[in-house]
A and B are shown apart, each in its own frame.
Chain A
């Protein structure tokens, strides 16, 4: 470990280390940041959800966007896997279907950064099989 010789050294070091625990800090106050849930059930994983998720995490981190990417169970849109739910603070959550790595990039650039909705939204009146069962 290199010694910190000045307060600036410490600040630099902190900046470098910050990302190590932003995940934990963000999970404590998710309402204040972008939350993305990736459907990671068998169907999702089979359709490449894992790659999508990895891409999202890395890309958001590269762009220094405060976001929490979590996995979730099957959302019930098996026809449109991989599906992700994007929840911007203060807005209603939006679900996109068929999100491959390319689509994910667009979501970040246009929806999360730009604030505009993209094609491929699965309408909210669309109920999931689980919810159907409950009815």
Chain B
């Protein structure tokens, strides 16, 4: 290993060759402020266009100041991170950025969580010496994401996530100079673009330029409305992240406090999406086994691999990018939608509430769920199965807004029947979790044997693309896993080219899976947080008495009382869906 010795603020520093000044400074306790730079260590993702110029430092012998995030350490370098020249330059640059930023912090969605605001505070900026034109773009309000790009500071993180990580390619820097901004083609609304609403752009935006559509006011309206019965479902990933919003360590499991808080907020019933996750396994697992058995029997018409379909961002992705492969993903609805479909039929009946008087709210780590709940095929006579979807962040905001001291809450249980779940339902939150849950059930159903060890360690991990072979009692089942849509694309292209050997593939749009969803508390570039959430999910699974979906007594009861059998007629009607070709086509006229 090559070593480089240098001096930063008169402190001797020894680093590996290739280290940036930013990291070298950090290693001796010197924090150089940054704005555009972002490094997601565990995902091998780095955004450093070197554009904000807030991290400039003075390097002896150089004519200009150097950006610490993009400057490699060289032998004998003498660096000053806080000379007068640096302080003046850094402050002036911040003043410039702020001079083109709307001063509406009070009502901004990012108030208190905004990197730009924090930086302005840290640098002690009280007034901006520049006045002049401010950028003005039209606001874009899609079903899931709001773009208020007057607040864009051109850090390009969203563009990087959208293009390099997710390969959705819906965002690009457009125009140039003062007019430049990140936007979809033709500045069209996201709704008309190929946006999947994965929300990874929102997850990394340092300002309020990108945010979720906030449904908390509508939820409050429903709660206040005495003619409505309002029930809530909470996705598995929410319980391991919500605590962060209340100052708890990442990885704290707050399932009980969450249930308690939801009751205090006034929900009539507090249910668990995990229940629907178990239901998903019953349907998707059955579909997988069915296809597999036909395939093994030599049926050439049956398509393998089967792809999971729980992730709405992923569904949007293949609908616009792989319209020729719409028959490959499982037809099973996502847990959110299965929950809604059962709630508005079976449960409504049980509760004696009319469909239109029952409001189903979902708390999700996800922005695409907002869009998914609004899809036409998930409505009956215009009434959606899931009425409102809010994110982990919005829930936290509602709890704070209700003056509930979250930390002091006692643990409470979910309501029944749709609050009971297994460990298999919980692990849906992690990459690899859906397929592991499916394997637990499919193994036992297929082999008619009991699993000795329910953990499939081979399916776990953080690598973007993973594969494993699971032994179904002599039958090797090849499984592929991808998280992040860029990784998904690679697996899909293999399938498209007929090169894929997998029987089943799990795909989640967000890096890390739902625990890293676009609606989760901001990680501010610290992927250690994602790992802690993932570990908590596995802990929650371990703590569960029942860990296989088909053993969930309420699921068994649901089939007995209502659905019949997995993939049966009623299941098909309520729990399965179909997909659409969303690729845009240009109309051409004949000469």
Q: Do chains A and B touch in the complex (CB under 8 A)?
A: no
B residues neighboring A (CB under 8 Å): none
